[in-house]
């Protein structure tokens, strides 16, 4: 899933780059046309059509610019979309506060985006207790996102407990990877 | 929401009767009754040899010592010469007769070779395809007569089998035969729970993206979505009268315990803490619940009235205690204790508060009593594979039940089923 997001982000970035190149060309074209304003004004209908076409192009450019900016913002967040927890702990750790703030700020600036906090736990409990622990980790992550600017309606919380472990070893290296909340943008 | 094709419900297929669980028994009861079981006359004509099934059943309890008949083969009481049997105390003989319409009749006798008396004389008839069921019924009768407790050879268990990316919810005989898959999907399945008369199974499925509680009829395969509130819906447990379930919901904050009618109506919240309250289970008389809570700072087991209110902490040993289940007589409860980095299965007596650890320790989780209170089923691991195991309630006899394929988890023992 993470690879898919990363791939989409990269595609968006590439598209954005392509758009900004053509935007630059159009800006140049606009400058050229305004310096020849006498010639252009002689033909009103042609001017009207050109103006409409230029406006449409400007709108498209603005949207492409916005998409590029969003893609850049998400690219900045994508590699850091998980927060981790010590054993049997569900509070956000100091070391993860920057990541959470970044996502919270992003959501605050993009009120239409929705995120999901997916909680997990390591296997050292019963499956039901671990489901509850994962849920509480997800809830605390949501609270921190809201404190950082997200709207409560923007964030859903779910838990997978110990049911979808990232690592399956009976050792701390695996357990540490599983004590985690993933912030995803479905 | 788009339901992916990964959800497949398999109906009860006519599976060939083969062992899907490899069973290994260690230990012995305090007393082992010697019993000789002679192959029944006519049993070779059946695919399943009745005397073999009876022997496996009795052997697995650790309470019987099987005596070799050494070629002697009486089939009726009048053919038994008691002087031929000095090495045993009891003797089982029988006959299988094929009737019309694919039915068979099985007559058997349980004899006391010491007092030279007939302890049991029964005739059972059924469809030929029910040979194993008949054998289990006979084993139950022998067990009950000789130990004083009802046998559980005719009961069933439920569990989750994980093989590769697939999860299967399975119901099977208590010896692993007759596997019946209720649900097969890529998304996780948890917490199967038997209704009191064994007719339905409630469970947690993630098929819609998060934990929701379903209740499925074993006869019709029809199921209802019992709880799909925002957040996680989990830990179903049936009340002894079968009218309602306890479940755990997170839609009002942290994981809390609720009661809900079996049709999904009349939701009532009964725990009111800001901690994790989960794994509710009803007492046999329906008036109390045991549950796991970390309200005291760590996961421990508490007891509370089914009406809610004050919760008494019951466990004080080890680091954490999880997954409580009452014994059928209500006098004790079994649970999983986490201590020194390992999980153990333990039993605690309510009145004496004494704790008895029954297993050597490892990844031993999710214990449940057999309905006669004599055996405890739980999940464990051997060489990295999830398997089932049982331990007798006195800790003396142990069974390992290894699946041929996949890992097993979340086991639960079903109730007695009225014939």
pLDDT at A79: 58
* Residue B188 in contact with partner chain A when CB distance is under 8 A: yes
Q: Say if the Cβ atoms of A88 and B338 lie within 8 Å.
A: no
**Sign, Cα dihedral of A62, A66, A69, A71:** negative
Q: Across residues A96-111, what is the average pLDDT? A: 94
pLDDT at A20: 40
Q: Across residues A99-120, what is the average pLDDT? A: 95
pLDDT at B13: 34
Higher per-residue pLDDT: A27 or A2: A2
> The tokens of B227 are what?
């709880």
pLDDT at A46: 58
Q: Say if the Cβ atoms of A127 and B248 lie within 8 Å.
A: no
Which of B185, B192, B250 to mutate to test binding with chain A, by most A CBs within 10 Å of its CB? B250
pLDDT at A43: 52
Q: Which residues, in sequence order, are CB contacts of B279 under 8 Å at separation 6+?
A: A126, A128, A129, B235, B248, B291, B292, B322, B323, B324
* Residue B136 in contact with partner chain A when CB distance is under 8 A: no
Alpha carbons within 13 angstroms on the beta-carbon side of residue B371 total 22
Q: Across residues B152-159, what is the average pLDDT? A: 98
Q: Kindly report, residue by residue over A114-153, the tens digit of the pLDDT.
A: 999 999 999 999 999 999 999 999 999 999 999 999 999 9
Q: What is the SS3 assignment for A32? A: helix
pLDDT at A62: 80
What are residue A167's DSSP bridge partners?
none
Ranges of beta strands (E only) in chain A are: 82-84, 115-120, 155-161, 180-184
Q: Across residues B305-311, what is the average pLDDT? A: 97
Q: Kindly report, residue by residue over B1-34, the tens digit of the pLDDT.
A: 444 443 333 333 333 455 678 899 999 999 999 9
Q: Taking a C-beta distance cutoff of 8 angstroms, is the pair A25, A64 a contact?
A: no
Residue B367 is inside which H or E element, if any?
strand B365-369
Q: What is the SS3 assignment for B194? A: strand
What are residue A99's DSSP bridge partners?
none
Q: Say if the Cβ atoms of A135 and B254 lie within 8 Å.
A: yes
pLDDT at B12: 34
Higher per-residue pLDDT: B402 or A75: B402
Per-residue DSSP letter, A71: H
pLDDT at A55: 79
Percent above pLDDT 90 for chain B: 90
pLDDT at A45: 58
Q: Kindly report, residue by residue over B282-294, the tens digit of the pLDDT.
A: 999 999 999 999 9
pLDDT at A48: 64
pLDDT at B414: 98
The answer on pLDDT for B328 being more than 80 is yes
Higher per-residue pLDDT: A11 or A110: A110
pLDDT at B419: 59
Per-residue DSSP letter, A94: G
Q: Across residues B237-260, what is the average pLDDT? A: 97
- Cα separation values, B65 from B23, B37, B74, B88, B131, Å: 17, 11, 20, 9, 24
Among the partner residues A123, A128, A170, nearest to B278 by beta-carbon distance:
A128
Tell me the pairing of strands B332-339 and B320-326: antiparallel
Among the partner residues B209, B211, B276, nearest to A129 by beta-carbon distance:
B276
Mean pLDDT of chain B: 94
Q: Which residues, in sequence order, are CB contacts of A39 under 8 Å at separation 6+?
A: none
Q: Say if the Cβ atoms of B292 and A170 lie within 8 Å.
A: no
Q: Say if the Cβ atoms of B234 and A131 lie within 8 Å.
A: yes
Q: Taking a C-beta distance cutoff of 8 angstroms, is the pair A64, A23 a contact?
A: yes
* Residue B185 in contact with partner chain A when CB distance is under 8 A: no
- Give the number of beta-carbon pairs within 8 Å between A and B: 81
Which ipTM score applies to this complex? 0.93
Q: Taking a C-beta distance cutoff of 8 angstroms, is the pair A108, A150 a contact?
A: yes
- A67 pLDDT band (50/70/90 cuts)? confident
Q: Kindly report, residue by residue over B44-65, the tens digit of the pLDDT.
A: 988 899 999 999 999 999 999 9
Q: Kindly report, residue by residue over B124-138, the tens digit of the pLDDT.
A: 999 999 999 999 999
- A162 pLDDT band (50/70/90 cuts)? very high
Q: Kindly report, residue by residue over A4-63, the tens digit of the pLDDT.
A: 444 444 444 444 444 444 444 443 434 344 444 444 444 555 566 677 777 778 888 888
Q: What is the SS3 assignment for A4? A: helix
The answer on pLDDT for B195 being more than 90 is yes
Q: Say if the Cβ atoms of B232 and A127 lie within 8 Å.
A: no
> Between the CA atoms of B135, B139, B141 and B143, what dihedral angle is there, to the nearest 10 degrees?
180
């Amino acid at each position: 899933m993470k690879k898919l997001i990363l791939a989409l982000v990269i595609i968006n970035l590439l598209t954005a780059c392509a758009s900004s190149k053509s935007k630059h060309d159009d800006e140049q074209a606009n400058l050229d046309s305004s310096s020849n304003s006498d010639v252009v004004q002689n033909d009103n209908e042609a001017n009207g059509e050109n103006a409409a076409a230029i406006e449409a192009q400007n709108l498209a450019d603005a949207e492409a610019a916005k998409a590029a900016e969003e893609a850049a913002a998400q690219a900045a967040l994508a590699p850091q979309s998980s927060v981790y927890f010590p054993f049997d702990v569900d509070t956000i750790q100091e070391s993860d506060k920057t990541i959470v703030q970044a996502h919270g700020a992003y959501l605050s600036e993009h009120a239409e985006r929705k995120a999901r906090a997916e909680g997990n736990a390591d296997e050292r409990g019963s499956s039901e207790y671990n489901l509850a622990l994962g849920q509480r980790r997800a809830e605390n992550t949501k609270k921190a996102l809201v404190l950082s600017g997200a709207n409560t309606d923007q964030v859903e919380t779910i838990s997978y407990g110990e049911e979808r472990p990232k690592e399956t070893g009976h050792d701390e290296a695996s357990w540490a990877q599983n004590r985690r909340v993933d912030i995803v943008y479905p | 929401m788009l339901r992916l094709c990964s959800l497949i419900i398999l109906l009860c297929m006519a599976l060939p009767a083969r062992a899907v669980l490899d069973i290994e028994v260690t230990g012995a009861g305090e007393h082992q009754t010697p019993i000789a079981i002679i192959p029944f006359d006519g049993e070779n004509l059946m695919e399943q040899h009745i005397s073999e099934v009876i022997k496996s059943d009795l052997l697995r309890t650790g309470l019987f010592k099987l005596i070799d008949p050494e070629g002697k083969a009486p089939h009726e009481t009048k053919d038994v010469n008691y002087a031929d049997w000095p090495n045993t105390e009891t003797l089982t003989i029988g006959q299988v007769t094929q009737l019309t319409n694919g039915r068979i009749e099985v007559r058997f006798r349980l004899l006391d070779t010491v007092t030279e008396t007939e302890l049991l004389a029964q005739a059972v008839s059924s469809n030929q395809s029910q040979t194993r069921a008949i054998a289990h019924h006979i084993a139950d009768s022998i067990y009950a007569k000789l130990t004083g407790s009802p046998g559980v050879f005719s009961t069933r268990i439920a569990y989750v089998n994980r093989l590769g990316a697939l999860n299967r919810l399975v119901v099977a005989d208590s010896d692993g035969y007759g596997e019946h898959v209720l649900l097969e999907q890529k998304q996780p399945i948890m917490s199967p729970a038997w209704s009191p008369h064994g007719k339905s199974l409630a469970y947690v499925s993630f098929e819609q993206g998060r934990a929701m509680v379903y209740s499925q009829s074993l006869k019709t395969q029809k199921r209802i979505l019992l709880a799909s509130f925002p957040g996680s819906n989990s830990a179903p447990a049936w009340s002894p009268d079968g009218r309602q379930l306890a479940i755990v919901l997170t839609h009002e904050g942290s994981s809390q315990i609720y009661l809900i009618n079996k049709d999904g109506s009349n939701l009532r919240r009964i725990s009111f803490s800001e901690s994790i309250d989960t794994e509710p289970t009803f007492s046999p008389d329906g008036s109390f619940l045991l549950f796991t809570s970390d309200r005291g700072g760590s996961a421990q087991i508490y007891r509370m009235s089914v009406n809610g209110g004050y919760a008494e902490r019951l466990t004080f040993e080890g680091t954490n205690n999880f997954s409580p289940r009452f014994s059928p007589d209500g006098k004790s409860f079994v649970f999983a204790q986490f201590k020194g980095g390992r999980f153990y299965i333990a039993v605690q007596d309510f009145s004496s508060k004494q704790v008895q650890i029954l297993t050597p320790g490892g990844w031993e989780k999710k214990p449940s009593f057999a309905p006669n209170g004599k055996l405890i089923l739980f999940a464990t691991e051997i060489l990295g594979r999830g398997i089932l195991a049982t331990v007798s309630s006195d800790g003396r006899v142990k069974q390992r039940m290894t699946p041929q394929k996949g890992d097993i988890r979340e086991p639960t023992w079903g109730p007695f089923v009225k014939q």
